[in-house]
Amino acid sequence: MLFHRLDFFAFFLVVLALYACLGKRAQNTLLLVASYYFYAQWDYRFTLLLFGVTLVNFVFGHLIYINKGHAKLWLWSSALLSLGVLGYYKYYNFFIDNALAFFAMMGLPFSSQATAVILPVGVSFFTFQALSYPIDIYRGDTRPGSASHGDLTFSSAVGDFLDFALYVSFFPQLVAGPIERSRDLLKQILADRQVTRDQIETGLWLFCLGLAMKIGVADEIAPQVDAVYANVAAHSFWAIYAATVAFALQIYCDFAGYTFMARGVASLMGFTLTNNFLQPYLASSFQDFWRRWHISLSTWFRDYFYIPLGGNRHGPVRTYANLAATMVVVGLWHGATWAYVLWGVFHGALLAVERFAMGKIKILFPGLALTGFGALAASAAGRVVVLQGVLAGWFLFRVGDLSVVSRIVEEGKGWTWGGFADLPLSFPDALPYVSFLLIVALYETPCYRRGEEIHPARFSAPHRTALYLVLAMIIMSSVGMKDAPFIYFQF
């Protein structure tokens, strides 16, 4: 059930109508039932997996809270069970395929009758979201809902479990995030909610913006990107570069579009979800890029992996190693292929080199402070360099198979400049996307400077009307043209 399909609109209208007529406890029950129904539309069998991950982390979270002496044991048990299940579904096929390739390389006759494991949609997202609960309880950042009232009885634990189950399965962000923390979303589930006019306006704006980005931009660009990447070795450098730029736009509009729609749906019911994107392609550094791209994932790894490894507290060499290890795991989180691992290694190297270079600059040029045109030129040059690095990473990400890269080097045209006739998009084809981006950029630029995101309430009525008309035109011209799933559903 995808956000841009009619069946979701029908589903959500029914849920919203019932939701408006109920009190908080009944609303939570309704949302829990609706969330499991929503997930069951993909494959009802995996609702048991969703329930199991929820139950494991809830039980161990409570054990951590009531038994401080064995808290670390319960935490590790919760993490091993959750990550073990995630590893089985996500990396079983990867392990079998690579084991068979290794045996073949060694000349050992070995075959496997193992059945390929289906990857449940959204498993990486809801597993990480559930696991943050026992971790936060262990750290003292949150506690079971009934503990706030000193009532850890069986009946209160049942109520806590239903609320926690909704936190893990909340349908707007269940299958592709943003990955919420218990101290944020669970707190809203436990609190009384009243939908305000501002939340309704915010919800409608975010949903319409996300829908336009998904069906009006991402899905329209996808065929041109696919055409080049289906046979990368047969295309010139400029064609591959243009397709990679198009993919950068596609994946942003697809993933950010989903997040905006998820936040919009949640806002219409009185919830506030994490802002997962903040103009990432305008980042001033590679570190800044990860502060702006998939924010909920990067902060999850920062808080629960990078900092526990030691972060930047044990000298530069250890810091570089921690950055590399974190980004390798981020790459593996995205998918069980060596291309994703290399993508993670590449970004880890970019972060390490950037940190090393900045440290050397501070030593060699103490007190260096550019002003005026020098500062502007340095800022622009830095953003261009960062964007090119990000695009190189997107190439590795989109290729998906390292053998393709070797074919480009050995037999392809990827190292020739080629001509503009080889480009995947002509200027007339690209004009609608460029126009959309210019319009959004016109409104986002002042917001970017303030560290905010675009919102029509900040503009005058004529500007708001113009924005909504542009979105309406894009949506109406694209409805029914494509029916592509969201890219991050496969992660």
Number of neighbours of residue 143 by Cβ within 10 angstroms: 17
Phi and psi for 9 in degrees, rounded to 5? -60, -45
Question: CA–CA separation, 197 vs 201, rounded Å?
Answer: 6
Q: Which two tokens stand for residue 320?
A: 């570089």
Element (DSSP H or E) covering residue 35: helix 24-43
Which two structure tokens, joined as six digits, stand for 386? Answer: 């960062």
Q: What is the pLDDT of residue 236?
A: 78
Dihedral, 358, 359, 360, 366 alpha carbons, nearest 10:
90
Who contacts 301 (Cβ-Cβ below 8 Å, separation ≥6)? Answer: 326, 329, 330, 333
Amino acid at 119: L
Question: C-alpha distances in angstroms, 329 versus 134, 201, 305, 309, 427?
Answer: 21, 38, 9, 13, 39
Question: Residue 154: what pLDDT?
Answer: 47
Q: Where are the domains positioned within the chain?
A: 6-193, 198-490
Predicted confidence at residue 155, as pLDDT, reads 47
DSSP, res 22: S
Q: In sequence order, what are the residues at sequence separation of 6 or more whose Cβ sits closer than 8 angstroms to the Cβ of residue 225?
A: 243, 246, 247, 250, 398, 424
The vertex-19 CA angle with 18 and 20, nearest 5°, equals 90
Exposed/middle/buried for 159, CB within 10 Å: 0-12, 13-18, 19+?
A: middle
Please identify which residue in the block is written with the tokens 């026992």.
134
> Long-range contact list for 220-228, CB < 8 A, 24+ apart?
220/432, 220/433, 220/478, 220/481, 220/482, 221/246, 221/247, 221/249, 221/250, 221/253, 221/425, 221/433, 222/250, 222/482, 222/484, 224/424, 224/425, 224/429, 225/250, 225/398, 225/424, 227/424, 228/424
**DSSP 8-state symbol, 489:** G
Residue 215 phi, psi (nearest 5): -85, -25
463 in catalytic set: no
Per-residue pLDDT of the chain (491 residues), as tens digits, is: 788 888 899 999 999 999 999 988 899 999 999 999 999 998 889 999 999 999 999 999 989 988 888 899 999 999 999 999 999 988 887 787 777 776 777 777 666 666 678 888 889 999 999 999 999 999 988 888 655 555 555 445 566 899 999 999 999 999 888 999 988 898 899 888 889 888 888 898 889 888 888 888 888 888 888 888 888 877 777 888 888 988 998 899 899 989 999 999 999 999 999 989 888 888 889 999 999 999 999 999 999 999 999 888 888 888 889 999 999 999 989 888 888 899 999 999 999 998 888 777 666 656 656 666 666 787 788 889 999 999 999 998 988 777 776 666 665 555 555 555 556 655 456 556 666 666 566 556 656 556 566 666 666 677 667 777 777 777 776 665 566 778 877 77
Cα–Cα distance for residue pair 316/23, rounded to 1 Å: 54
**Annotated catalytic residue within 4, 235, 334, 347:** 334
What is the C-alpha separation between 256 and 250, in angstroms, rounded? Answer: 10
